[in-house]
Amino acid sequence: MYKSVINQGKFLVVITDGVFDTPIIELPTEELADRVAYELQTARDEGESWGVVQILNELDGEKVKNETREALQKLRSMNKEEKEVYLEKIRRRHEKIQKVQRARRWKSVLSWK
């Protein structure tokens, strides 16, 4: 987990595993330290998500392929209006999920301030 902290007037990004806290970089401003910690945590989270998908593909690739095929067939069978409504619903859901993820990530990064 990456955190942004202020220690003795220094703006630091630290990496922590729950036992050890190791400063990895000192930055000139608090905002920059916050942003760097956020971006590092985002990259870590996205890498973790990608890894989960890869493992699922390896463990049960046929199931993933079948689910993907079914979703595409469902989408192809819709008329234009149904497709637009369906895609808008997916887009809104994705935006909500990303908004919650960003808020949680910022809360996590700034939790030691």
pLDDT of residue 85: 95
Q: What is the CA radius of gyration of the chain?
A: 20
Angstrom distance (rounded) from CA 2 to CA 27? 14
Handedness of CA 24, 27, 29, 32 (dihedral sign): negative
Task: Count how many residues are written for the chain.
Answer: 113
CA distances from 43 to 5, 39, 46, 49 (A): 19, 6, 5, 10
Q: pTM here? A: 0.69
pLDDT tens, 25-83?
A: 999 999 999 999 999 999 999 999 999 888 888 888 888 889 889 999 999 999 999 99
pLDDT tens, 79-101?
A: 999 999 999 999 999 999 999 99
CB 4 within 8 A of CB 109: yes
Angstrom distance (rounded) from CA 43 to CA 93? 22
